[in-house]
Structure 1
Amino acid sequence: MSTPEAASDPPPFSGRLSGHGGAHAVEVARHHGIDTMFTLSGGHVFPLYDGAVNPDPAMRLLDVRHEQTAVFAAEGIGKLTGRAGLAVVTAGPGVTNAVSGVATARFSGSPLLLLGGRAPDSRWGQGLLQELDQPPLLDSVAKRAWTVHATDGIGAAMDEAARTANGAHRGPVFLDVPMDRLYDQAEAELPGSAERADRSPDPGRVAEAARLLGQAERPVLVYGSDVWLDGAARAALEAAEELDVPVVTNGQGRGVLPGRHPLLANRARGAALGRADLVVVVGTPLDFRLGHGMFGGKDGAPLAKVVHVADSAEQITDHMTPAAAVWGDLSAALRGIAGAAAPTTAARIWRREISESAAATAASDTDVLASGDTPVHPARIYGELNRILDDDAVVVGDGGDFVSYAGKYVEPEHPGQWLDPGPFGCLGTAMGYSIAARLARPSSQVVTLMGDGAAGFSLMDVDTLVRHRLPVVMVCGNNGIWGLEKAPMQMLYGYDVAADLSPQTRYDEVVRALGGGGELVTDPEGIAPALRRAFDSGVPYMVNIATDPGNVYPRTTMGV
């Protein structure tokens, strides 16, 4: 499997294309490393299917039950490999059903290529089935969205779309092609010439970041998703160890430092970010998850200085002025900063304090991770799961409070093993990400964690897992409420509405009806045996666990 550490951008497609428009598109997609087409069948895009199945070897076609799953699966491939996945949807509602997935990819910086069908040019304006000008709908959430009106231009457009999606800052690209242009025959010659952008970070900016780091007494590094997606995970680990600085991770930055690494400060996040005098944020925006960059201030300390390091200039925060900003290739930036900075003695003392704080917090979690409460405390689930997970397991999170607990208690051992909806917060990613994880990591455990609210968005696509023989373990934290809404509404108004679900709904029986396996667990002592049965089953399997609706995840302004 190709990962961001090993992947290199292929050159622009060069060569002759022939046949119908669908064949042109598929041949270029193959050139960019795409081997699977995620789709829900529609007549507007039949030539793309023909282009996929006729060459030898054929491109894999994986059909789903809702377009959002196809898009989330393609986005999941992008998150796991650092290279754009491909989703193909039919015109009109196929495209509109895909919009939330595109928005999720844009907010997460995930490379994604979405190809949509479109009503034919030859009859446009006559009230055709699903006649809709679609790119304007995608403009605000895609890096680029446009229509190709010539069959001999489809290959060049696909080449540009793939390179745009995979280029920093990564993200989704939408392309639609009128039905008649996809079916038409054409010849095209692509020259394959394009200049590669110079992504070397500015030496002066690197030096300024290093100077600030060398002066800090309480520095903290924050690693986000782009550290993984930009292929900088190894450089990030080496920089942290060379600098001997506490590290907080979020998104796909999780796992850059293994779960038991002494510099990992996730279990002391509040103390680290609240008392820091300098925070170097790498590969993630200064959004609500990071208090919008307002670090420090705890126990009377002044606000911390911020150094923002991003993969491209457009990602540098503009709602505040950081003390230093660096953009470009993240591996080069991190190596440059670490090579030039000389941490103070006070900074090393600070690192030991944070390490001791993280260890003390982890030790204090022992009781809650072994809780015998009934209904089940969500933490007990993760106490049992952590004993079963392999070091290379992929963990998918789709939910609110239940997945927040996962973020607190589950630490990946390697980068590229954690998938969640990201800062857009769109529920319903579970099945698409599960499909992607099983394809991208065929020999690894895949466990999908979902709240019972999130389960309602995509559970029908268990049928897709079953049909395509993709075994995944699903764990549902079933507390019968919308946990993120019920408690806040009670706090604000003293009552709540539209926040209850049916208690102990048998989502496991839904999975069984669709051809998988499953069971309901109400006793905390039954969790571990049920998880073992799930992993041993070899089929999509739901462990549906009745959890305590009164247990509300404790939130802070720094998020999870």
Structure 2
Amino acid sequence: MSTSPFTGRISGHGGRHAVEVARHHGIDTMFTLSGGHVFPLYDAAVQPEPTMRLLDVRHEQTAVFGAEGIGKLTRRAGMAVVTAGPGVTNVVSGIATAHFNGSPLVVVGGRAPDGRWGQGLLQELDQPPLLAPITKRAATVHATDGIAAAMDEACRLANSAHRGPVFLDMPMDRLYDQAEIELSGAGTAGGRTPDPEAVADIARLIGEAERPLFVFGSDVWIDGAERVALETAEALGIPVVTNGQGRGVLPAGHPLLATRARGAALGGADLVVVVGTPLDFRLGHGLFGGKDGAPLAKVVHVADAEAQIATHLTLAGSVSGDLSQVLRGIADAAKPSGAVEQWRSTLTEATKAAVAGDAEALASDADPIHPARIYGELNKILDDDAVVIGDGGDFVSYAGKYIEPKQPGNWLDPGPFGCLGTGLGYSIAARLARPSSQVVTLLGDGAAGFSLMDVDTLVRHKLPVVMVCGNNGIWGLEKAPMQALYGYDVVADLNPQTRYDQVVEALGGGGELVTEPEEIAPALRRAFDSGVPYLVNIATDPENVYPRKTMGV
């Protein structure tokens, strides 16, 4: 969804050049933490009249997670602006997260002045080499009259498949200097038409399969292919497993949605067509099938760009390009065999069994509280367009199992990089991007320690968000595996029932501690009714760790 190149004349200081181009590309919010190296960008946002919202945070990583969240929700690059030196080094994990998520993002970093470079200036650091491995481009703009063109290219590159972060380094003196330039609008993006023969081969493989399965991932949403993906699955009658922001492409309860029977679906398939997500640890690295001694499934990989096609295993087929075009081509050409009906029936029954098997946990009266009970109550309250944000390990793993979105694009989690601390930045972005929707942020107590100070940002900018903290007093992803490996654990404990709710109250929000299962539903209703950032701090049973077969390696 890249926008057209900027065309026109710009005059003024370098910050004005950058902001005018960013606005052309649909960027209306600058996520930032104040720093003198980037003052001209602030000046351009508010003078002579406000043209861009300044959203200032308490830690630079939140600025980047906020901007990345905008990219994930709107499918258009968000922008973060950070000062030089530690301002830039503080955002490395955020940029890496956007890189692994394929999120459109532009980050502008301040830089010590060119005019005195090498003299030991404050925060003097050559920053692009730090970020080059995790960006589509990382570069310094050494001329004021080159800032607009560099920003134009950065926005188009970030918004072009395969999407990702771009970093621009702008020396302080070049931002303050004046220039007048004119851009011609050259450099339109090329086409992304998929290879028709590759699409035909995939359609043939589907026709030969008895147990085909689609996997729809985040890029189905980011590439704008969610409607076509749903229509393709329905036209062919092929079951679907979803992950990431692909969750909701088939709404909760859809007869073809097999995510609740994920093990049976991925283990029993003889052909898996993976669309818009990497064949990484979340998908067993593409080793599907093999159930009850059957051979491994054939695997087809469909990606929005050629570089995203998996190379670590032998594929039965692959194609890259516009995902809507690929899926339409498959829908038009594929003729599934009659055996697929039995396969659908098998997965339908497995899904029903999984749902029935979950019922007891979702309604559990156990004391201490079973984490599943929280999701049993939350599911009763969530609207169809609710944005659900997961920032945690064990607690959010339960959410991934029990929460099934009804619409695509409404589920945000850290993604394959697994970086904790995304929650508050994503919360800010969700409230801005979806002002009329419920926004619910699920925090493990470990994750809460990374970014809870930015509740101050929610309060200052009047951004109400409901936060639910699953507080079991441990690092759940580490404690149980270490015990299994060694028979003991170290550095895996937190203080039980820490009053994170009182932290939120001290910052100007609301909150409460819940210790009894029957208190969960009333507390959640109070949170949604409060109209302020509100944290429901729920003490859960540390013995109820999420069951895992592997450690994701």
TM-score (norm 1): 0.98
Q: 2:133 is paired with a residue of what secondary structure?
A: coil
Separation in structure 1 between the aligned mates of residue 383 and residue 167 of structure 2, nearest angstrom: 37
Separation in structure 1 between the aligned mates of residue 345 and residue 235 of structure 2, nearest angstrom: 15
Separation in structure 1 between the aligned mates of residue 9 and residue 314 of structure 2, nearest angstrom: 49
Alignment-derived partner of residue 274 in structure 1: 267
Counterpart amino acid of 2:40? P
Separation in structure 1 between the aligned mates of residue 548 and residue 198 of structure 2, nearest angstrom: 35
- Please point out which of 394, 400, 411 is paired with 2:393: 400
Q: Compute the displacement of 1:195 (Å).
A: 3.3
Q: Is the 8 A contact 2:109 2:170 kept in 1?
A: yes
- Please point out which of 167, 173, 183 is paired with 1:174: 167
Alignment-derived partner of residue 526 in structure 1: 519
- Identity between Structure 1 and Structure 2 (%): 79
RMSD: 1.0
Separation in structure 1 between the aligned mates of residue 398 and residue 3 of structure 2, nearest angstrom: 40
Alignment-derived partner of residue 198 in structure 1: 191
Q: 1:78 is paired with a residue of what secondary structure?
A: helix
Alignment-derived partner of residue 9 in structure 1: 2
Q: Does 1:502 align with 2:495?
A: yes
TM-score (norm 2): 0.99
Q: Is the 8 A contact 2:29 2:53 kept in 1?
A: yes
Alignment-derived partner of residue 69 in structure 1: 62
Q: Is the 8 A contact 2:5 2:188 kept in 1?
A: no
Alignment-derived partner of residue 201 in structure 2: 208
Q: Is the 8 A contact 2:67 2:80 kept in 1?
A: yes
The within-5 A match list for 1:129-278 is 129-278=122-271
Q: Compute the displacement of 1:57 (Å).
A: 4.5
Alignment-derived partner of residue 542 in structure 1: 535
Q: Does 1:110 align with 2:103?
A: yes
Aligned length: 553
Q: Compute the displacement of 1:359 (Å).
A: 1.4
Separation in structure 1 between the aligned mates of residue 329 and residue 279 of structure 2, nearest angstrom: 22
Deviations 1:237-285 (A, max 9, x none): 0000011111000000001000111101011000010011000000000
Alignment-derived partner of residue 410 in structure 2: 417
Separation in structure 2 between the aligned mates of residue 281 and residue 57 of structure 1, nearest angstrom: 45
Separation in structure 1 between the aligned mates of residue 181 and residue 348 of structure 2, nearest angstrom: 60
Alignment-derived partner of residue 5 in structure 1: none
Q: Is the 8 A contact 1:291 1:558 kept in 2?
A: no
- Please point out which of 252, 257, 278 is paired with 1:285: 278
Alignment-derived partner of residue 3 in structure 1: none
Q: Does 1:515 align with 2:508?
A: yes
The within-5 A match list for 1:303-452 is 303-452=296-445
**Which consecutive unaligned segments of at least 5 residues does structure 2 have?**
none
- Please point out which of 83, 100, 106 is paired with 1:90: 83
Q: Is the 8 A contact 1:448 1:475 kept in 2?
A: yes
Q: Is the 8 A contact 1:39 1:70 kept in 2?
A: yes
Q: Compute the displacement of 1:197 (Å).
A: 1.0
Deviations 1:20-77 (A, max 9, x none): 0000000000000000000000000000000111154520000000000000000000
Separation in structure 1 between the aligned mates of residue 459 and residue 521 of structure 2, nearest angstrom: 24
Q: Compute the displacement of 1:99 (Å).
A: 0.5
Counterpart amino acid of 1:215? E
Deviations 1:285-343 (A, max 9, x none): 00000000000011111000000000000000011121000100000001101110111
Greater shift in the superposed pair: 93-102 or 191-200: 191-200
Counterpart amino acid of 1:442? P
Q: Is the 8 A contact 1:290 1:558 kept in 2?
A: no
Q: Compute the displacement of 1:499 (Å).
A: 0.2
Q: Does 1:466 align with 2:477?
A: no
- Please point out which of 275, 283, 294 is paired with 2:287: 294
**Which consecutive unaligned segments of at least 5 residues does structure 1 have?**
1-7
Counterpart amino acid of 2:130? L
Alignment-derived partner of residue 44 in structure 1: 37
Separation in structure 1 between the aligned mates of residue 141 and residue 113 of structure 2, nearest angstrom: 11
Separation in structure 2 between the aligned mates of residue 304 and residue 10 of structure 1, nearest angstrom: 39
Q: Is the 8 A contact 2:4 2:188 kept in 1?
A: no
